[in-house]
A and B are shown apart, each in its own frame.
Chain A
Amino acid sequence: QKEVEQNSGPLSVPEGAIASLNCTYSDRGSQSFFWYRQYSGKSPELIMFIYSNGDKEDGRFTAQLNKASQYVSLLIRDSQPSDSATYLCAVTTGKLIFGQGTTLQVKP
């Protein structure tokens, strides 16, 4: 079982829609959870982090965490073509472990 699992996609949504990206993790001791965005040919950049159960909102982005279900999600509201990228879920267990990423395509 992989430590962090994501559906590789691609996930295709129309411009203006809500994109929902999901992630599960295996280590119940994981403390902190992160979403990175990686544009094609570029390096990852941090967009959100969440430590506690529940929702955390930052602009158009909402991160959701459910530790009992070992589940993390990222919602992107009013999706824009510029949001088209690979979204990497990452979990800290003394080191930062990434999932394989979900490719999001936002169509104009």
Chain B
Amino acid sequence: ETGVTQSPTHLIKTRGQQVTLRCSSQSGHNTVSWYQQALGQGPQFIFQYYREEENGRGNFPPRFSGLQFPNYSSELNVNALELDDSALYLCASSLAIGAGELFFGEGSRLTVL
């Protein structure tokens, strides 16, 4: 059974640039959630995808967008990067929408200079 994988693991961008982060969900999981975790903080919910549709969004601006593909993998896109976007971005898969049992990938560490 393959776990949740994310890429890239680390990346550095400059203000104003765009970034795409990728996630492959655990086998059999059809729901993917994305979280932003700043240093010393808990994960903040960005959005959740189920069957290629966004299903629930946290308090993040529209420049944060996502996609889910037919194989349940997912992308997180962030446009017009700001310094405060520097964080660990976590992808988690689950068996159902709103499920509390999430399986996390190791995250993508984004630094915005």
Contact = CB atoms under 8 A, between A and B. Distances in A.
A binds B: yes
Given A43-B90, A92-B98, A98 B104 contact: no
Nearest to A32: B100
A44 B58 CA distance: 19
Contacts of A65: none
Interface string B83-109: 000000010000001111110111100
Interface class of chain B by DSSP: loop
A101 B98 contact: no
Contacts of B43: 44, 88, 98
Interface of A: 4, 6, 8, 32-34, 42-46, 49, 88, 90, 92, 94-101
11 contacts: A8-B40, A32-B100, A34-B100, A46-B102, A92-B100, A95-B33, A95-B56, A95-B98, A96-B45, A96-B98, A101-B41
